[in-house]
Chain A
Amino acid sequence: MSASRTSTSRPIPLWLPWAIMAAIVVVALAVGSVGINEPPTNAERVQNLTRSIRCPQCAGQSVAESDVSVSREIRRDIAQRVEQGQTDEEIRAYYSSDTVYGPDALLTPPADGVGGLVWVLPVVAIALAAVGLTLAFRRWAASGRRDATDEDRALVAEALDVPDGGTEPGGAGRP
């Protein structure tokens, strides 16, 4: 019985989960890259822009979500500007200019200045965590594999209730 169980439940190779994870990451990056390279339609640009601009009269809502008059006007204005050929950067620059609604008009934090920390800090944290884990794994690997002592064997034997120094069922004991 134990022999048949051993033959049917083969251990999963250690590399298999890593290979699956790597494949998922590669596929996700590939799909993401293809998606980014496709130019958005004007309707998609309007949708994205209205989601990225704060409603001037509301708390924490984008103009896409808000139905107050000024948000409706901004949605209409953005659609007109897109049709006129203005770039996303030009449109965001207009709304975030000091004479219109100021830098806080943008729901997406700026990539420079103090607001840029919102983008930089998570990347730095992930990089530091990766370095820390790598160092820790290397240290653990370098510390070597410790063989079981006689004391450990005695504890295991006692737990399994077999004679001291006995072998595992169905196989030879480890050296």
Chain B
Amino acid sequence: MTDGADASGATLRRPVRLAAVVTGVVLVALLGVLAWQVAAGEDDTVRNGLVGRAAPAVVGTSITGEPVDIDRWRGDWVLVNFFATWCVPCVREHPELVAFAAAHGPDAEVPVEVVSVAFDDDAASIEEFFATNGGDWPVLVGDTGPIALDYGVRGVPESFLISPAGQVVAIFYGVTAADLDAAIATATAGAAQP
């Protein structure tokens, strides 16, 4: 009986060991995949594949009823700013946008066209917001959701600096005039290098 039990135990142990090894390998592989995906997700927090690529179209109607198409400013720097009046960081960054727009008007050494795209907001709130906080650049209203999705906007505020050649050179999740000037200087220096 004892010999039989030993033989039976030996017969049992081999598949059990095999199953344990296979289960362990599968678990390790799954953990590896999970870790890889988590690492990829961490990198993704500042991801936007638009940098270095052609800026998607921004076409629509401004709050004053005028047609807007950023392609008409090709040859100049353009800043596309997605915002909402209900968004506190947007309210905080607005004075920086006002200062930047004032410093880069049509007669400036480096003129920049600022265009705001209202995201999930209404015209009355936007009019009141600009009347209170300043700023006289075009503000797109209406069905602006598809424009925001084309730019991969995750939330507001997000701003996209577009070079005179029509390429996105930098993305900001809340801007300052100094950061924008630095980005233009960096991009200009990079473009000037042979």
Q: Please give the residue numbers on chain A whose beta carbons come within 8 Å of chain B beta carbons, in ascending order.
A: 56-57, 68-70, 72-74, 76-77, 97-102, 104, 109, 114-115, 117-118, 121-122, 124-125, 128-129, 132-133, 135-136, 139-140, 143, 146, 149, 151-152
Which of A70, A114, A125, A140 contacts B23 (CB under 8 A)? A125
Taken together as a complex, chains A and B put the C-alpha atoms of A136 and B37 apart, in Å, by: 37
Taken together as a complex, chains A and B put the C-alpha atoms of A142 and B26 apart, in Å, by: 30
Which of B26, B148, B153, B155 contacts A124 (CB under 8 A)? B26
Is A151's CB under 8 angstroms from B44's CB?
no
Which of B12, B50, B154 contacts A56 (CB under 8 A)? B154
- Give the chain B neighbours of A57 by CB distance below 8 A: 154-155
Is A104's CB under 8 angstroms from B22's CB?
no
Is B84's CB within 8 Å of the partner chain A?
Answer: yes
Is B152's CB within 8 Å of the partner chain A?
Answer: yes
Q: Which of B118-156 contact A (CB under 8 A)?
A: 119-120, 145-146, 148-150, 152-156
Closest to A74 in B: B149
Taken together as a complex, chains A and B put the C-alpha atoms of A135 and B17 apart, in Å, by: 13
Is B15's CB within 8 Å of the partner chain A?
Answer: yes
Task: Flag B150-172 by CB within 8 Å of A: 1 or 0 each.
Answer: 10111110000000000000000
Is B53's CB within 8 Å of the partner chain A?
Answer: yes
Q: Which of B1-21 contact A (CB under 8 A)?
A: 1, 4, 7-8, 11-12, 15, 18-19
Closest to A59 in B: B41
List, sorted by A's number, 14 A–B pairs whose CB atoms are closer than 8 Å. A56-B154, A69-B155, A76-B145, A99-B152, A100-B149, A102-B47, A102-B49, A102-B152, A104-B40, A104-B41, A114-B36, A129-B22, A132-B18, A136-B11
> With A73-B149, A77-B146 in contact, is A121–B29 under 8 Å at CB?
yes
Is A100's CB under 8 angstroms from B84's CB?
no
> With A70-B155, A102-B47, A132-B18 in contact, is A121–B150 under 8 Å at CB?
no
Is B33's CB within 8 Å of the partner chain A?
Answer: yes
- Give the chain A neighbours of B148 by CB distance below 8 A: 70, 73
Task: Flag B38-68 by CB within 8 Å of A: 1 or 0 each.
Answer: 0011001001011001001000000000000
Closest to A104 in B: B44
Is B29's CB under 8 angstroms from A115's CB?
no
- Give the chain A neighbours of B49 by CB distance below 8 A: 97-100, 102
**Which 4 A-B pairs have CB atoms at the shortest separation, nearest pair first?**
A98-B49, A136-B15, A56-B154, A73-B145
The smallest C-beta distance from B191 to any residue of chain A, in angstroms, reads 21
> With A117-B29, A118-B30, A132-B19 in contact, is A69–B149 under 8 Å at CB?
no
Taken together as a complex, chains A and B put the C-alpha atoms of A100 and B47 apart, in Å, by: 10
**Given A69-B119, A73-B149, A99-B150, 12 new contacts (CB under 8 A):** A56-B152, A69-B84, A70-B148, A70-B155, A73-B120, A73-B148, A102-B44, A104-B37, A114-B36, A115-B33, A129-B19, A152-B1
Closest to B33 in A: A117
Which of B1, B12, B53 contacts A149 (CB under 8 A)? B1
Is B1's CB under 8 angstroms from A121's CB?
no
The smallest C-beta distance from A122 to any residue of chain B, in angstroms, reads 8
The smallest C-beta distance from B174 to any residue of chain A, in angstroms, reads 15
- Give the chain A neighbours of B4 by CB distance below 8 A: 146
